[in-house]
Structure 1
Amino acid sequence: MPTAPPTADGWIVVTDPAGRRDPAPVARRPLLAWVAAAAVAVIALVVVLGLVAARALAESEAVNGAAKRADLIADALIEPDLTDGLLTADPAAIARIDEVVQNHVLSASIARVKIWAPSGEIVYSDETRLIGRSFAFDDDEREAFERPEVRADVSNLDAPENVYETSGGKLLETYRSVRSDSGQQFLFEAYFRYDEVDVRTSQLFYGFSWITVGSVLLLVLLLAPVLWRLLRLLHLEQRQRAELLQRSLDASSAERRRIARTLHDGVVQDLAGISFALSGSAGRAAGLGDTRLASDLTGAAATVRGSIGGLRSLLVDIYPPSLETAGIEAALTDLAAGLRSRGVEVLVEVDPRTALDAPQSRLVFRVAQECLLNAAKHSGASQVVIRLGPDRLEIADDGTGFDAAAALRAPADGHFGLRVMADVVSEAGAELALSTAPRAGTRWRLRMQSGPAEPQARS
C-alpha cells in the first residue's frame, strides 16, 4: 500500500498521491532513451572487440606476409650469391652478399638482415658490429636448420643478438635455412618493421567497424517501430484496465443500491406486514381467552420485528436509503446509531456549508462506515467524534490505537479494510490520512476535491 512519511503533526497519508490504483502508464521517452543508451553501449562494445579482433588479424596477416616475402628473398636474392667464403670471413664473399642486401633487400619495411653459420656465429649482417659474434640458438632456430621452411614471429628485442635493433621499435622476425652452391647450410634472418601491422590494423578495423556499427544501427531502426507499437499496445491495455476498474466500481455501487432497494421494498415490507398480522392475531387470541396462543403469537411478532431491525441495520451497511433521500448527515446519523447501540458515545457534527454531490457523499459514507467498524471491532473506544466539513471528513476515537507504520507495512492476514478503503479514496482522487499510536486513540482525515468530484484523468 502506498504511504507517505509522517508529517510534522503526525499524519501518515495512506493513499496513492497520484490518485490512482492502476499503475502509471509506461513513459515512452525514458524507455526509448534507455534503448538508445543500450544501443550506444552495444556499439561501444562492438568497437572495442572489433579493434582487438582487427589487431590480432592484422598481426596474423603481417606475420604471414613477412614469412612469404622472406621466403622469396631467400630463394631469389640470397641463395644465388651465397658462398662458403662467409664461413672464413672472406671480404669478397661478404661484399658480394652485402651488395645484394643493400641494393635489393633492405627497404622501408625490412630493417635488419643476418646470416648465421650452423655454429651460431653471425657471418653476415648489415650491422657490421654483429659480424663474427656468436650466440646460442633457441629451439625454433635449431629446428629451422632441420626443416627448410620459413618461420615468423614478433621479435624478442631483449635477446642478446638484438642489441642493435632496440631503437627501431617493434619488429617481426623471420628466418629460414639457405644453402650455398656447395650445399653448405646457413640460416637467413630478416627483421620487418611492425609499422605495417599498425597500418593493416587500421584498415581492417575501419572496414569491420563501419559494417558492424551500421548493422547495429540498422537493427535498432528496424526494431524502433516494433518497440513503439508495443508501447502503444501496452498504453491501450492500461487504459482499458483502468476503464474496466472504474466500471467494476460503478457496477458494485449500483448493485449495492439495487440489493438495498430490493430488500427494503420487498422483504422488509413483507416482514412488517407479518409482524402487524401476528400482533393482531395475538390480540384476538387474548380476547378469546387463549392466553397460550396469544403469548406465542406475541413472541413471534417480537421475533419478526427483531429480524426487521437486523435487516434495516444491514441495509444501512450495504447502502443507506437516507444517503440519497435525506443526505449525508442523516446517513452518518444512522451509522452513529448502530455504534451507540453498542454503548459507544458518538458525536456527529456537520458544517452547514457542506454541499456534497452524490459521488462525494458515497465516498464519505464508505470511509466513515469503515472507520466506525474498526472503532467498534478493534479500538475498544468509549467515544467517537465525526466532523464533516465542505472539503474534509475527520473521525477520532479514544480507543487503544495501534502502530500505524507496522499495520501499513504488513497488514494482518484477512485485514483488508484499510487497504480497500485507501484504494477507494485513491480512485476518487482524494487523500486519506491516519494519525495514531498505541494507547493514544485514532484519528482519520479524508480530504476531498473542492467542488464536485470529477473522474480521474486517464492517460
Structure 2
Amino acid sequence: MPPEPAWIDLTVAQTRRSALVEPPSRRGLFTRLIAAAVLVVLVVVAVGVFVARQLAEREAVHDAARSAQLLGDVIVEPALSDALLDGDAEARAMLDELVRSRVLGDSVVRVKIWDADGRILYSDEPRLIGETFGLDDEERTVLASNGVEAEVSDLGAPENRYETGQGALLEAYHAVTSPSGRAVLFEAYFRYDQVSVRTGELWGAFSLLAVGSVLALLVLLLPLGRRLVVYLRDVRAHREAVLQHALDASSDERRRIAGRLHDGAIQDLTASALALHGGASRAQRSGDAALAAELDEAARTLRANVGGLRSLLVDVYPPSLTAAGIRPALDDLADAVRGRGVRVRIVDDELPDLTPDEARLVFRVVRECLANTVRHAKAGEAVVTLGPVQPDGSVPVEIADDGHGFDPEGIEQPESGHLGIPLIVEAAAAEGARLRVRSRPGQGTRWQLVLRANASAGARG
C-alpha cells in the first residue's frame, strides 16, 4: 500500500503573500532605512577603499618612475664610467659608495644596473653582480628609447629573490648612458608603504563626502518614508473596507433572496402541491382514475421542485446557520449533496460552540469542499468530521471523500480550475485558521480546516 501523501498547508502561501503587502510600521520603516544606510555605507567604504588604493598605487607608480628618472639623471649617470661597465672593481666601489650615501634610504631599498644582455653590472646586493637574467620586452623598449617605466615588483622572479624580506615593492627603471654613449638600465626599488599612506589620505577625503551624502539622503528619505507608510495604510484600510462592504452586501443579498424564496415561491409551490394532492384524492373517490393519476403526478413534480428549491436555498444562505447553529446547517447541506448522488455522513466529535464568524467559515469551507467532491471527485461517499478540541486548543474540521483524488500542487491559484479554493483559503487566513489538503490521484481527498487555538475561548467555555 503506497504511503499516505503529506499535508499541504494552503494558508502558508496566503499568509506570506499578505505579509508582502503589509505596510511596515514607522519603527519598522526607520529600522529598514537605518539598515539600508549602514549597508550603503559599508558598500561605499569597500568601494572607496578599493578605488582609493587603485588611485594611490597609480600615483605611487608614477612617482616611482619620476623619482627613478631623477636619480638616474642627476646622481647615477654623472658617476657612471666605462670602467664600471667593463667590470672594474674600483669603479664599482666608487659607485657603490655614492649609491649608499645618496640613493638608498627610507624609500629606496635596492639599486641594480643592467646591460643590454640582461647582465647585472652593479647592485648594492653584491651576490647579484655578474648574474644574467635577461630583459623583457618592456625593459628593452625603455633601454632603446631612453624612457622610464615603473610597476609593482614581482617578488617571485629569480632576480628579486633577495628582496622578498622587504614586503611589497615598486620597481622603476630608466635608461642612462656612460661617457662613451653606452646605454644601460638603471633600476631602483621603492617601498610600497607610500601606497598605504596615500590610500589613507584619499579615503579620508572621499569618506567625508560619501558618508555625509548617505546620511543627508537618509534624513531626506525619513519624512517621505513616513508619508508613504501612512498612504499605504490608508490604501490598505480602504481596500479592506471595500472588500468587507462587498462581502456584507453579498451576504445581505443572499439573505434577501433566501427569504423571498422561502416565504414566496416555496410556500406557494407547497400549497399548490397540497391542493393538487387533494384534487387527486377527490378525483379518485369520484371514480375518475385518469384525472387522479394526472393530478397526483403533478403534485409529485411540484414536491420534487420544492425539494430542489430547498436545496438551492441551503446553498444560497442557510437559515439554520444563524437560527440553530452549525450542525443543523451542515445537516441541511448534507441533504442537498445527497440529492446529487453522494452519500454524506457527519461525525460530530464533541464540536464546541463556535463564534458566528467561525460558524460561517466552517460552513463555507465544508460547502466548497463538498461542491468539489460532487463536481470533480466522482466520489461515492464523503465524511465530515467535526472536532474534537485538540490539546493545544485548536479545533479541526475534516472533509474526506473516496473520489479520484488529484495533485494538490498549485490548487490555491485561480487558474487551477478550483475557483472557490482561493477564496476559502483567503477567508481561513483572515480568521487565523489553517486550511490543509492531502490528496493523490486514485487515493481520494482529505481537507482539514484547523480553527486556531483559543480563538473563541469565551464562546467555547
Range into which the TM-score falls when normalised by the shorter chain? 0.5 to 0.7
From 234, 249, 252, the counterpart of 1:251: 249
State how far apart, in whole Å, the 2-side matches of 1:125 and 1:13 are.
79
In the alignment, is the contact (CA less than 8 A) between 1:21 and 1:427 conserved in 2? no
In the alignment, is the contact (CA less than 8 A) between 1:114 and 1:190 conserved in 2? yes
State how far apart, in whole Å, the 1-side matches of 2:443 and 2:77 are.
108
Is 2:193 the partner of 1:195?
A: yes
How do residues 16-415 of structure 1 correspond to structure 2 at under 5 angstroms?
Answer: 23-24=18-19, 25=22, 40=38, 43-87=41-85, 101-115=99-113, 133=130, 135=132, 137-139=134-136, 140-155=138-153, 165=163, 167-216=165-214, 218-219=216-217, 222-223=220-221, 226=224, 229-272=227-270, 274=272, 296=294, 299-321=297-319, 362=360, 380=380, 401=402
Gaps of 5+ in 2: none
Which amino acid in 2 is paired with 1:255? E
In the alignment, is the contact (CA less than 8 A) between 1:178 and 1:187 conserved in 2? yes
In the alignment, is the contact (CA less than 8 A) between 1:66 and 1:172 conserved in 2? yes
Q: 1:103 to 1:265 in 2, by over 3 A?
A: same
Report the alpha carbon displacement of residue 255 of structure 1 after superposing the two structures with TM. 1.4
State how far apart, in whole Å, the 2-side matches of 1:439 and 1:118 are.
89
Report the alpha carbon displacement of residue 188 of structure 1 after superposing the two structures with TM. 3.4
Gaps of 5+ in 1: 7-11, 454-459
Which amino acid in 2 is paired with 1:449? S
Which amino acid in 2 is paired with 1:258? R
State how far apart, in whole Å, the 1-side matches of 2:117 and 2:343 are.
117
In the alignment, is the contact (CA less than 8 A) between 2:11 and 2:436 conserved in 1? no
Name 1:457's counterpart in structure 2.
none
Which amino acid in 1 is paired with 2:18? P
State how far apart, in whole Å, the 2-side matches of 1:125 and 1:440 are.
91
Q: What's the CA shift string for 1:86-116, capped at 9, x where partnerless?
A: 4566788667656654554333222344455
Report the alpha carbon displacement of residue 147 of structure 1 after superposing the two structures with TM. 1.6
SS of 2:18's partner is coil
SS of 1:173's partner is strand
Q: 1:235 to 1:186 in 2, by over 3 A?
A: same
Q: 1:16 to 1:102 in 2, by over 3 A?
A: closer
Q: TM-score, normalised by structure 2?
A: 0.65
Report the alpha carbon displacement of residue 259 of structure 1 after superposing the two structures with TM. 0.5
Name 1:9's counterpart in structure 2.
none
State how far apart, in whole Å, the 2-side matches of 1:121 and 1:18 are.
75
Name 1:449's counterpart in structure 2.
456
Q: CA RMSD in A?
A: 5.8
State how far apart, in whole Å, the 1-side matches of 2:35 and 2:76 are.
58
Q: 1:350 to 1:82 in 2, by over 3 A?
A: closer
State how far apart, in whole Å, the 1-side matches of 2:296 and 2:356 are.
42
In the alignment, is the contact (CA less than 8 A) between 2:171 and 2:189 conserved in 1? yes
Q: 1:89 to 1:429 in 2, by over 3 A?
A: closer
Give the length in aligned residue pairs: 439
In the alignment, is the contact (CA less than 8 A) between 1:82 and 1:179 conserved in 2? yes
State how far apart, in whole Å, the 1-side matches of 2:432 and 2:364 are.
15
Comparing both chains, which one has the higher relative contact order based on Cα–Cα distances under 8 Å and sequence gaps of 6 or more?
A: 1
Greater radius of gyration (CA): 1
State how far apart, in whole Å, the 1-side matches of 2:272 and 2:193 are.
112
State how far apart, in whole Å, the 1-side matches of 2:354 and 2:114 are.
109
Q: TM-score, normalised by structure 1?
A: 0.65
SS of 2:190's partner is strand
In the alignment, is the contact (CA less than 8 A) between 1:21 and 1:426 conserved in 2? no
Q: 1:182 to 1:330 in 2, by over 3 A?
A: closer
Q: What's the CA shift string for 1:230-272, capped at 9, x where partnerless?
A: 5554444444444344333322221111111122333234445
State how far apart, in whole Å, the 2-side matches of 1:123 and 1:21 are.
76
Which amino acid in 2 is paired with 1:175? Y
Q: 1:366 to 1:42 in 2, by over 3 A?
A: closer
Percent identity (aligned): 43
State how far apart, in whole Å, the 1-side matches of 2:227 and 2:335 are.
57
